[in-house]
């Protein structure tokens, strides 16, 4: 099975070689789709885990045990169309092409491609992009 999750590392755990352990000890294929370190030096890693269901569960249990916060991939990017002016300031910062201008140059969001990396949120001058549940 495949599962998308966010790992949140407190500052003291930022240096822990998590992906290595997941590959070696739990036989998982790891695809990192976003990696950020916040101003408070906590790290946020967005990954897709691919492997046996019991291995994924065991891996997540281990990570929670050492103090890494595991967040399900339940956040969504939302465009407030009452605020959006269809300029396209967000499309060029989108790493997956989920935000794009359609044939009429209106901005559209393909949620299937979105990895909720949040790059677009502070790129919008109209405050039209928000992260929701």
Partner 1 sequence: MPKTYAEINERIRRREAVVLTAEEAIGFVRENGVRKAAKEIDVVTTATFGTMCSSGAFLNVGHTKPKIKFGGGEVTLNGVECYAGLAAVDFYIGATARKKHGAGSRTYGGGHVIHDLVAGKDVLLKASAIPSDCYPREELEKWINIRDVGHAVLVNPRNGYQNYNVAVNRSGSTIYTYMGKLLPGMGNANYSSAGQLSPLLNDPRYETIGIGTRVWLAGAQGYVFWNGTQHNPGAHRGANGVPTEGAGTLGVCGDMKSMDPEYLVGTAFTNYGNSLAVGLGIPIPVLDEGIMRNVSVSDAEIFAPVVDYSADYPNATGRIIQKVSYAELRSGEIMIGKKKVPTGSMSSYPKALEIAGRLKGEVEKGRFLVQEPVQMLPGSKRGGGS
Which residues here bind partner 1, judged by CB under 8 A?
A: 85-94, 97, 100-101, 104-106, 119, 122-123, 125-127
| Beta carbon of residue 39, minimum distance to partner 1 (angstroms, whole number) | 13
Give 67 or 125: the residue with its C-beta nearer to partner 1: 125
Give 20 or 105: the residue with its C-beta nearer to partner 1: 105
Give 55 or 86: the residue with its C-beta nearer to partner 1: 86
| Beta carbon of residue 57, minimum distance to partner 1 (angstroms, whole number) | 36
| Beta carbon of residue 73, minimum distance to partner 1 (angstroms, whole number) | 23
| Beta carbon of residue 9, minimum distance to partner 1 (angstroms, whole number) | 21
- DSSP collapsed to 3 states, the chain: CEEEEEEEECHHHCCCCHHHHHHHHHCCEEEEEEEEECCCCCEEEEEEEECCHHHHHHHHHHHHHCCCEEEECCCEEEECCCCCCCCCCCHHHCCCCCEEECCCCCEEECCCCCCCCCCCHHHCCCCCEEEEC
């Amino acid at each position: 099975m495949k599962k998308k999750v966010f790992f949140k590392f407190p500052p003291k755990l930022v240096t822990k070689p998590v992906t290595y352990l997941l590959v070696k000890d739990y036989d998982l294929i790891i695809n990192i789709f976003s990696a950020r370190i916040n101003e408070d030096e906590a790290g946020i890693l967005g990954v897709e885990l691919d492997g046996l269901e019991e291995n994924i569960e065991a891996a997540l249990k281990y990570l929670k045990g050492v103090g890494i916060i595991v967040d399900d991939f339940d956040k969504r990017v939302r465009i407030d169309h009452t605020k959006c002016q269809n300029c396209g300031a967000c499309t060029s910062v989108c790493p997956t092409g989920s935000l794009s201008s359609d044939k009429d140059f209106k901005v559209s969001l393909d949620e299937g491609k979105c990895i909720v990396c949040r790059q677009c949120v502070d790129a919008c001058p109209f405050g039209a992009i928000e992260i929701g549940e």
